[in-house]
Amino acid sequence: MRYAVITDRAESDPCPDLRGALQSVRAQPKPSITEPSQIAGLLQAMDEYKGTFVVKSALLLAPLVFVRPGELRNARWEDMDIKKAEWTFSYLKQRTNIRDKRKLVVPLSRQAVAILKQLHPFTGGCVYLFPGLHPGRPISDGTINKALRTMGYDTRTEITGHGFRAMARTVITERLHIDTQWIERQLSHKTSERLGESYDRAQFLDDRRKMMQAWADYLDALRAGHIQQRKTG
């Protein structure tokens, strides 16, 4: 509006008169399950999911990689290196789904690789790991949440596709006692350190590889009931 006034497109700037008229939007944290006993129940429910094999594969992979939902549904076979057990992709800018130049390497646990090997005969000829109903497009952004609701979970109060990130962040810290730097790097959270994005791109890969395998093994133990359930005090 100031530009409009300067260029004679408007007589005045009304914005100061609106200050305080609109409340700032506050981001609401996504619901998640972080109690081990409840995670075990969720994993067991996922094993029993009766939907399509493609959606079930996406569900099973989600907690193992805990990437953003948009990154999971847009996963491409060309970005998967099964031999190296790595998934390397460009970040998706939030809201726009436009890929930028930064890369994230997701080390794949043995369990994640097994899911991909089972999935490949069905969708390996497609661009996306999880193709949707429309040719050349992945599953929709609501598919994972719909599957969770089908399993009986309330995506407003219990768990969403995005909630697998909070699950991993919380439980890996509290139960596996792993360095938070490794977790934050795997979550691809921006660093607060000056020049951090420029110099921190490839750090902790070996450590994150060990972390991702430890996390997958922990989830398997929960699923099988081999871990004593107790709340943190």
Domains of the chain: 29-193+204-220 (1.10.443.10)
Q: Is the dihedral of CA 211, 89, 165, 187 positive or negative?
A: positive
**Tens digits of residue pLDDT in 127-170:** 999 999 998 999 999 999 999 999 999 999 999 999 999 999 99
Residue 124 scores a pLDDT above 90:
yes
Residue 98 scores a pLDDT above 80:
no
**What is the mean predicted confidence (pLDDT) over 43-49?**
97
- pTM for this model (two decimals): 0.81
**What is the mean predicted confidence (pLDDT) over 20-40?**
83
Sheet holding 86-92, edge to edge: 80-81, 86-92, 99-107
* Residues in Cβ contact with 89 at an 8 Å cutoff, skipping those fewer than 6 apart: 71, 75, 76, 79, 99, 103, 104, 106
| Predicted local distance difference test score (pLDDT) of residue 226 | 82
| Predicted local distance difference test score (pLDDT) of residue 195 | 43
Residue 99 scores a pLDDT above 80:
no
| Predicted local distance difference test score (pLDDT) of residue 52 | 97
CA distances from 170 to 62, 156, 164, 166 (A): 16, 19, 10, 6
Backbone angles phi, psi at 146, to 5 degrees: -65, -40
Between CA 198 and CA 160 the distance in angstroms is 32
Indicate the burial class of 148 (C-beta count within 10 angstroms; 0-12, 13-18, 19 or more). Answer: buried
Q: What is the DSSP letter of 208?
A: H
**What is the mean predicted confidence (pLDDT) over 29-50?**
95
Between CA 39 and CA 219 the distance in angstroms is 8
* Residues in Cβ contact with 145 at an 8 Å cutoff, skipping those fewer than 6 apart: 155, 160, 161
| Predicted local distance difference test score (pLDDT) of residue 215 | 98
Maximum average pLDDT range among 48-57, 189-198, 201-210:
48-57
DSSP-assigned states of every residue in 122-157? HHTTSSBSSB-SSTT-B--TTHHHHHHHHTT--TTT
**What is the mean predicted confidence (pLDDT) over 34-55?**
97
| Predicted local distance difference test score (pLDDT) of residue 15 | 85
| Predicted local distance difference test score (pLDDT) of residue 90 | 86
Ramachandran bin of 31, using left for φ above 0, alpha for ψ from -120 to 50, beta for the remaining angles: beta
**Tens digits of residue pLDDT in 84-93:** 999 999 866 5
| Predicted local distance difference test score (pLDDT) of residue 23 | 73
The confidence band for 29, taking pLDDT boundaries of 50, 70 and 90, is confident
Q: What is the DSSP letter of 16?
A: G
The answer to which of 17-31, 118-132, 134-148 has the lowest mean pLDDT is: 17-31
CA distances from 233 to 31, 50, 64, 174 (A): 21, 37, 26, 11
